Chains A and B, each alone.
Chain A
């Protein structure tokens, strides 16, 4: 069965960096995009970016450009998200999600986040 298992909770000081891992299993890692979504306590879902595990291509939300890097290791079917220059408002649960194409027509496909990691709480505090 498909699983996305994330690394554990982290506590970081302002200005530091954090790397969250997302180990996948149950499917071919390079076949589907991985996206990252975060959620501050009591708040909604915020999209951060995507990565193609096959090519390594990435795309980031404008808000995080220059501060985030998404990478992967195909040998261990794991995606990584690094966020730098942490601030207190980066305190959130960070989710990796598998993004799959669903219905395709004329070169475009509807898509779906069909599997989510369990989330990794990152706390930024001095």
Chain B
């Protein structure tokens, strides 16, 4: 199976900050990567698919980049409602493994 490793596992940032979360795949996955946000007590929601395409309705402060094994989720201008846990997922090969998650706190 392809392993997905996220870093950091948790972070704390202030409103307005630029936040970066990274995701590394154990083997090349081209651009077959999604990012999800999960707010406390809710189901996850899709933020970005295909590495860099924003899902409908997702604010433009979110962006994704990367290729092959190294990927990044960036939040430009952190907002209070962005608190939660962020997951990457590869869909290059079955099983479509998730990263372990990055817990984001607002200072």
Q: Which residues from chain A sit less than 8 Å from chain B, CB to CB?
A: 35, 37, 44-47, 50, 59, 61-62, 95, 102-103, 110-114, 116-119
Contacts and interface: CB of A to CB of B under 8 A. Distances in A.
B101 interface: yes
Indicate the size class of the contact surface on chain B.
Answer: 20 to 34
A110 B43 contact: no
Given A45-B87, A116-B45, A110 B95 contact: no
B98 A112 contact: no
Given A102-B53, A111-B96, 7 more contacts: A44-B98, A45-B44, A110-B50, A112-B34, A112-B49, A112-B55, A116-B44
Contact of B98 (A46, A50, A62, A116): A46
Contacts, number: 60
Interface string B7-35: 00000000000000000000000011010
B67 interface: no
Interface of B: 31-32, 34, 36, 43-46, 49-50, 53, 55, 87, 89, 91, 94-101
Nearest to A59: B94
A35 B97 CA distance: 12
Contacts of B55: 112, 114
A45 B34 CA distance: 13
A62 B99 CA distance: 18
A81 B67 CA distance: 34
A20 to B, nearest CB: 14
